[in-house]
Amino acid sequence: MTYYDSRLASVTLVAALATTSVVALSPSTALAVPPGGYGDLVEAVSPSVVFIEVTGKASGTGPAGAMPQGMPEELRKRFEKMIPGDRGDAPHKGVGSGFIISEDGQIVTNHHVVDGADSVLVKLADGRSFEATVIGSDAMTDVALLQLATDESLPVVAFGESDSMRAGDEVVAVGNPFGLGGTVTSGIISAVSRDIHAGPYDDFIQTDAAINRGNSGGPLFNNDGEVIGVNTAIFSPDGGSVGIGFAVPSDLVQTVVADLQDDGTITRGWLGVQIRPMSDEVASVLGYDGPKGAVVEAVTEDSPANKGGLEKGDIILSFNGTEIVELRDLTRAVADTAPDKSADVEILRKGDKITRQVTVGTLGQQDA
């Protein structure tokens, strides 16, 4: 699994809009893909896809220091082979892609493209360059929002509905792989709602459209020229595209962007439990077709869960009306609940279904 770092020569793994300034105008021309290819679509959307150059402070660490905490050992070894040695105190530079969502110059890209940036330079397809500031960035979804320093009216692209996309639908990726600006690749959606174990918001669109280093933060378009995903990662044994790429779905991106536009930060709910999946054996004993719910391994002292009466061994079946089938269902439902809001938690305790009410806290660095 390869995630593109904001360093030119390194790779690092990186783990929710309805506002006037972000709802971009749809292209005026019909963008149905003709038998001849994607030329009309690309011509319409390319002016809004940008090339991003980032300069950041030197980390003063070797490859191991660039790795996120908790990375599996086998994955860590794979990345270390791809990352050159310590570059000392030299500032690191990086490249990525992005796309313009408002005429006043707001741009969506990946968090890991601009993470730690001292300066961000954005180059448009027509050759113009602008300095940009980071309005806000969210590591959990790998989404960042930039603002260009310009009074000019800029070309924009619109978001589409990622939930309407299906495996087999055609898609087009536009970006700047390896610094080659304005590169277009096409393919299909290979899978939807893909969990690659990068974090609680894993719900990726998988595509076989070629995505390489430098494509990070670039748009994945449907046949109407609407952005239905933000390219963020590939699976690759050697750093190059092997036809397995991942994009953050646009429905999630829009929610995150709307939150970042407000104050540049993301506020999420916190419950205060450590959880694990239900075993097949327990599911069989309970008469379920398969494992479901989240088993509470531990309850943090003085947490919302602790104050709400949750205990170790409880099986959480639903949270605030959301059925919990997989662990990510709970982490996402909790995170998407506003802090200080009351939520009903349906649990299974010693064979009995009971409901507890909790007042959700604010997520810091705690677990679910």
Q: Which residues fall within 8 angstroms of residue 174, CB to CB, at 6 or more apart?
A: 42, 45, 46, 49, 97, 182, 183, 184, 218, 219, 221
Is-catalytic flag, 216?
yes
Give the C-alpha separation, 78 to 234, whole Å. Answer: 14
Q: How far apart are the C-alpha atoms of 4 and 14, rounded to whole Å?
A: 8
Give the active site residue among 5, 142, 251, 259: 142
- Quote the CA–CA distance of 228 and 161 in Å, as a whole number: 6
Rounded Cα gap, residues 360 and 335, in angstroms: 9
C-alpha–C-alpha distance, residues 115 and 135, integer Å = 12
142 annotated active-site:
yes
- Kindly give the residue spans of alpha helices, DSSP state H, lying in the chain: 39-45, 73-82, 111-114, 250-263, 280-286, 304-307, 327-335
Q: Retrieve residue 130's tokens.
A: 């602008």
At 188, the amino acid letter reads: I
Q: Is 112 labeled as catalytic in the residue annotation?
A: yes
Which of the residues 6, 97, 186, 216 is marked catalytic?
A: 216
Query: Of 6, 112, 138, 203, which residue is the catalytic one?
Result: 112
Q: What are the E-state strand segments in 271-320? A: 273-277, 294-299, 315-319
d(CA 173, CA 132): 23
Q: Which residues are catalytic?
A: 112, 142, 216
